[in-house]
Structure 1
């Protein structure tokens, strides 16, 4: 028998690993917008140039009209909207209590249906409710209606209930080291959550176990550091949704401690919440950057260019070590590929942070500012939230339309046992399918709008920081380049063909 040449073995190994990695992916549903190969109406370069040109034009218009913004900049620490909120709506305490109880019951139902219900992920209530209704739909509702999660957080409600029985249960045993840790606990849990989405191959049972684990972590954190500290710094869902809620035209104001529980809804100009405060810790800025990088990574990690980058660029460098040191090189190569995928996810915010700091350094040099780069990073971090949010929407809103209608059927039969509690078990959940042209142009429009809003917010922040229209405009030139780069990259990622063709709904509904 003719011996196989090393380069032939390497090529066969690479092909096998690509097939194995593709075969290992669950196949229930598509995660991205285009279920079939889609040809753009015009070359991608025209979309990229057009979007970037529109962004530059927006920057020029914002700079010229900086004296007439929809808000008046009064200080570095805050803003005064052009029209202060004159009306508000008080949510009665009874309604608030009912909604909080409903949140706990839905959490309990999610856990119970995953543990004891059908194993079919498409028929199980917890998969649709958690990944689609909550992670997607609720985050979009928060962007419109304010920080509802801060009001209805089921884990915080559990703490309140336990505290009624055991008044000292959540009295802080340790003082939370906010200056040292900041939001790093929430960031670590956020990274674990995204990893579970992308690589955890979630089933109804494993989702329930993850929710139980998250519940245990939350109760333990609240017991150690107190409720206020944990749900501010440690609960990643609270941090994530609180950032999104800062864009909302509604501010939710809690009643004074010791009074009956009430929530007052106060109107404000959209997006101004992002200018009312700044990131108080570097970890919160990194959290915002991970909101960006994780969505971009999700769009890229199964694309053809990404697969080719590893198998044609990185793998040949380590192939001799694998083939020489293992009796099962195919299995080892597949494991290396999966480890590489996870490592790239965890390193993605660091790459974004590096780019962010480089452009801020350029802005500091252009303006000869005495502000440190760290200080500038904290000041401008929230101006990136609209970009992160529109990335989230453009990547996943089609899932809400296609998979969301199943909720109405499953709520009547959450365990898949043939029940019909609300008379909707026979509901023919027809997915809402949009034309590929509509999806693509919607994505282009959303990404452009998100970046224009971020350019405006960054310019207002620059006016407050540099105290001069000229220096503010000068400082924003590097940030404009960053926004242009993010716009082009975001559109490019959305247009990439998927290497494996399919991604599981449970692991890609972030």
Structure 2
């Protein structure tokens, strides 16, 4: 039964309100730059390129990656020794803690505009995006300048018993705390009211949580398993040609010998990553699925699915048949709907991943358990996760991230000009549409090709004989093609 014409008009008005972009809160900064383009051409072309890459990898027997991540030691290079003499590590740690404190202060007492307040641009773009890409390029520098570790180390200098593990970290707990915190972070970014004030409160609460966790579990366990950014950036740093081996946490407080810096083949260290628990696999999959969901949940198609199809066919029977009267309740339900699919997305990715592994296990007639295969191939997902991240978010650095140069002179948004840069880069930077689309296309395609390369190397360790290796990877190839085309399809959808 169709709605009367008047109700159609009323519902159209309500839907129009929903589809109007918000003032500045999606991703905490407005829309990510995406562009509708002819999907079929890019989809078929990318699938063909991925299949061709798979054939080339198979023919080369996966020898494009070295068997070990052992690299060249750069610790004694002149530039590194100079950095030590200049105490750049101490300076970087001080700046890291100072930036955290400034984020909290500017959010509590600065302007409420996300664009005019220092903390929103610094945390969501300079820190979260910049450190993610920086880790993939330059290694796990975050392990050295982590502001929460620096704070706990400073407290430990005055109270030696502070960083003493009072409770042993249970093996069953593994990385689950990091997953819960990461889920809360993504929910705040995509669905929460992420304002400068809310962000400051969250940073204060998270700082307190870190200090309490260090006092209970010790810094070694907490910053390995529980702290979100330590887990995230350590995973992404596996893609880097540089590896920083930090001084043991227990020895760091005694100011013993510095850490070691190694230069290695890109991705080689990734094949040495041992994912020993399902929680770490779930974390990696959530990196993938949450980014894909982010690209989908702001599209017109997604909103119409809820506000038109679900409402007219089901939900109006539980609220009101008058669309305008039902709108407030439906808007709240829409938030729950979004949250459900954000966290359900990782289940869908996990099922697709396990299905492809099970098919590969049958084809290769392998005796390995599905758990061994799932954990064993998990590192191959990291290049894809980074590629998704770049495709969806890199434009934010160009459009808003560069504004940090002016915001640093006026962090509270009150007209200050501390460093003389407050009036710099005031004009709006709009990326070229064609350039954005092709960078998005290239990043997703390259990420999947690198993932296939890493998966082939890992398969050589798990299966005997090149024939079984290739057979085991055919379902994974199908999964890669599916992820590539679905990722491009999401990017092509109108917002």
Same fold (TM over 0.5): yes
Counterpart CA distance in 1 for 2:389 and 2:321 is 43
1:332 shift after superposition: 1.5
Distance across 1 between alignment mates of 2:53 and 2:346: 27
What are the superposed Cα offsets for residues 65-121 of structure 1, whole Å, 9 maximum, x if unpaired? 01633313xxxxxx356xx42544445283212211111111001100111112222
Q: Deviation digits for residues 421-450 of structure 1, max 9, x if unmatched?
A: 222122233444321011111111111111
Aligned equivalent of 1:127, options 120, 132, 141: 120
Choose which of 276, 290, 296 in structure 1 pairs with 2:292.
Answer: 296
* Aligned equivalent of 2:162, options 169, 172, 179: 169
SS in 1 for 2:276: coil
Decide whether aligned partners of structure 1 residues 64 and 193 sit closer, same or farther in structure 2, where only a CA change above 3 A counts: same
Q: 1:459: Cα distance to partner? A: 0.2
Asked whether the 8 Å contact 1:369–1:466 carries over to 2, the reply is yes
| TM-score, normalised via structure 1 length | 0.89
In structure 2, C-alpha distance between the alignment counterparts of 1:31 and 1:371, rounded to whole Å: 45
Select which of 46, 52, 55 maps to 2:50: 55
Match of 1:242 among 234, 237, 251: 234
Contact 1:96 1:261 survives alignment (8 Å): no
Query: Is this contact kept in 2: 1:408–1:429, CA < 8 A?
Result: no
C-alpha distance after superposition, 1:251-310 (max 9, x if no partner): 001235244362332101111221112211101101111100111000000112212322
- Residues 176 and 14 from structure 1, CA distance in 2 versus in 1: closer, same or farther, beyond 3 angstroms? farther
Tell me if the contact between 1:279 and 1:381 (Cα under 8 Å) persists in the aligned partners: yes
Gap runs ≥5 in structure 2: none
1:185 to 1:8, Cα distance in 2 relative to 1, 3 A: farther
User: How far did residue 190 of structure 1 move?
Assistant: 0.6
Partner-residue secondary structure (3-state), 1:161: helix
Question: Residue 506 of structure 1 aligns with which residue?
Answer: none
Are 1:44 and 2:36 counterparts?
Answer: no
The structure-2 alpha-carbon separation of the partners of 1:168 and 1:117, relative to structure 1 and needing over 3 Å to count, comes to same
Residue 102 (structure 2) aligns with = 109
Query: Are the counterparts in 1 of residues 69 and 264 from structure 2 also a CA contact under 8 Å?
Result: no
Distance 2:306 2:427 in 1: 39
CA 1:274–1:8 in 2, change beyond 3 Å: closer, same or farther? farther
Instruction: Tell me the matched-pair count.
Output: 481
1:467 positional shift: 2.6
Contact 2:276 2:375 in 1 (8 A): yes
- Scaled by the length of structure 2, the TM-score of the pair is 0.92
- Which residue in 2 is equivalent to 1:32? 32
Partner of 1:501: none
Query: CA–CA distance in 2 between the matches of 1:427 and 1:279?
Result: 46
| CA distance 1:67–1:356, change in 2 (3 Å) | closer
Note the aligned Cα RMSD (angstroms): 2.3
Indicate the SS of the match to 1:434.
Answer: coil
TM-superposed CA distance for 1:382, in Å, is 1.2
- Provide the residue aligned with 1:502 in structure 2: none
Which range moves more in the overlay, 428-437 or 245-254?
Answer: 428-437
Matches within 5 A, 1:263-278: 263-278=259-274
2:195 corresponds to which of 200, 203, 216: 203
Deviation string for 1:123-173 (max 9, x for gaps)?
A: 211111111111112211111110011111000111101111111123222
Counterparts of residues 6-405 of structure 1 (less than 5 Å): 11=8, 14-15=11-12, 17-22=14-19, 25-27=22-24, 30-34=30-34, 38=35, 40=37, 43-66=38-61, 68-72=63-67, 79=68, 84-88=71-75, 89=77, 90=80, 92=84, 94-178=87-171, 180-255=172-247, 257=251, 258-260=254-256, 262-315=258-311, 316-323=313-320, 328-405=325-402
In the other structure, the counterpart of 2:470 is 473
Q: Which runs of 5+ in 1 are unaligned?
A: 73-78, 499-510
Structure 1 SS opposite 2:410: coil
Secondary structure of the 1:266 match is strand
